[in-house]
Structure 1
Amino acid sequence: MRDRAADLRRTDGDAFYMRIERLCTTTFRMALDDEIQRAAFDRWIVGRGEAVFMLDSVDEAKLPSMVTTTPLPDALAALKAALGPAISRIRLVVSSRGSEWHDRSEQKPLEMFAARLAAARGDAGSDVTRLALALLDEDRIMRLARSRGADDGLITLLEVSDLIDDARTPLDALHYADHYVAHRGGDDLARSFASRGAVLRASVERRLRDADAEAPRPPADQVAAMRAARRLAFALTVAQTRDIALPSRGSTPRRCSPPGRAASR
């Protein structure tokens, strides 16, 4: 979504990318992704043109320290308060995993927000469109894979290993591409694609080594981490669920800060 917002700014006008959890932990201005967007917003807010606001992502906003139990309604309220009359000039895109999109906490608040937009514009009705990502075909898998440095040998390996159907989502395609690039040229490349377990193990080990500038992690013991991952996988399988939410110890879920004020941490 960040890249799409940048593309829209280059071609079609104003577009702004915002992380929902940042709308819940900082001021509206700081929730804008960078200084380029802040400068663009300053120009847009005093003009008359339309803009697209992309809010990403409901499911991830529910995770960090359980900052809020209602991230989307809170983010929409912050957006409405910050934009004022300019709210009549926006279009809104919201992303989420399907598992975290519910009628009461997401769909209904979004429909109410759309009704307010329609009223601000003087439109007779409001319109909310729900879209789901289609599974990737081989061409799209390779487009993503090439962005990570993979070549056509990846598709061949996925087909030979009967793993092609496991690479049909963007995240999985990127995981397989990273795994391929990390082992390309080595004697163990084909063997590393011999099973889903081999790829998963390598993916977990790589993520444990990765440095994340936005959310730095302390060094992790890989043996202990793999043991924990197996136990979590077993628990998720038994519970027949795909998502986990862990509140911080002793913390109480809270709502977003009032517009213009940063939340205390």
Structure 2
Amino acid sequence: MLRQVTGIRYVTPLREGGSLPGVVEADDLGTYVAKFSGAGQGPKALVAEVICGELARRLGLSVPRLVVLDIDPVIGRAEPDPEVQELLRGSGGPNLGMDFLPGALGYDPVAHPVDPALASRVLWFDAFTENVDRSWRNPNLLIWHRELWLIDHGACLYFQHNWPRAEAAVNRAYRADDHVLAPYASRLAEADADLAPRVTPALLAEVLALVPDAWLAGPDFGSADAARAAYADHLARRVARTADWLPQGSAA
């Protein structure tokens, strides 16, 4: 499983995020951006964060360290905002923590041109996971220590919100015309040749094992293991159909 830590102080909300994430200090002396299970998107957003974040890491992309962040709602008692208080009351127990990168800069496509090989790998990964949240309006990319870091994958894997119709998403084409890195992504064929063979059943099983059972529980499946099997099957079949969903060349 992911490393587990306990939140000891709620520092501040991050209001630029639609789900109202917050900065939390934990008992391991680390500081994390917390994504809460009680937010509007619910636990499925946390499932997507773990699957996509840990898959991206294993494919060589930079993602802040993820942890399971145990929250006692009492840590927010000094927070004056009633919306935050309500969110924390509904998020007791395991939540997702993403390592806070101090001094990181938000990605600016003008100020931070990206190497075509890296841009192509990121676009390939976003196409595979159907990430609809990497536009120039909201890149969900940071520059830290002169490297490009991927954050916020809760909007990926949106097939999971309607499992009866998930079959249609296996070979669904990905539209990259709004992707912030499309102007640089001129080596998609190379990225596909390198990355697709690495998404093996063993890799998918390794990543899915990191998702807490509590986030997989729900009306769609009889058990957490059944849910893992469904995600693994879907993603394995999608990666085998790259010719159907991968954009051709650059979208610029």
**Greater C-alpha Rg:** 1
User: Could you say which TM-score interval applies, normalised by the shorter chain?
Assistant: under 0.3
TM-score (norm 1): 0.24
TM-score (norm 2): 0.25
Could you say which structure has the higher strand fraction?
2
Could you say which structure has the higher helix fraction?
1
